[in-house]
Amino acid sequence: MPVSETIALNIVKARQTNGLMEAQRLNGMSVAQAFDVQNAVMHQLKQSATTFKIALRKDGTAVGAPIFINRSIVDGETIAISDTGYTGIEFELAVVLKSDITASMAADGAEGILPAIERFIFGFEICATRFSDPQTADENAQLADNMSNSAFVAGNEDWAGGVDIDGADLMISANGETIFAAQAKHPFGGVLAPILAYALADDDKIGLLKAGNIVTTGSLCGLLKASLPATLEARVNGAYELRATLNR
- CA gap 172, 42 in Å, rounded: 31
Q: What is the pLDDT along the chain (248 residues), one digit of tens a residue?
A: 677 888 999 999 999 999 999 998 899 999 999 999 999 999 999 999 999 999 999 999 999 999 999 999 999 999 999 999 999 999 999 999 999 999 999 999 999 999 999 999 999 999 999 999 999 999 999 999 999 999 999 999 999 999 999 999 999 999 999 999 999 999 999 999 999 999 999 999 999 999 999 999 999 999 999 999 999 999 999 999 999 999 99
Distance CA 147, CA 142 (A): 5
User: What CATH number was assigned to the domain covering residues 3-247?
Assistant: 3.90.850.10
DSSP state of 89: E
Q: What is the pLDDT of residue 56?
A: 98
Question: What is the reported pLDDT for 135?
Answer: 94
Complete edge-to-edge strand list for the sheet that includes strand 149-154: 62-67, 51-56, 214-219, 86-97, 117-128, 149-154, 72-74
pLDDT of residue 1: 61
> Positive or negative, the Cα torsion across 66, 71, 73, 78?
negative
- 8 A C-beta contact, residue 69 and residue 60: no
Q: What are phi and psi of 195, to 5 degrees?
A: -65, -45
Instruction: Return the H-helix or E-strand segment holding 178.
Output: strand 177-183
Q: Residues 185, 217: contact at Cβ < 8 Å? A: no
pLDDT given at position 128: 97
Indicate the domain borders of the chain.
3-247
CB-CB contact of 99 with 84 (8 Å): no
Give the pLDDT confidence score for residue 25 in this predicted structure.
87
Q: What does R_g of the chain's alpha carbons equal in angstroms?
A: 17
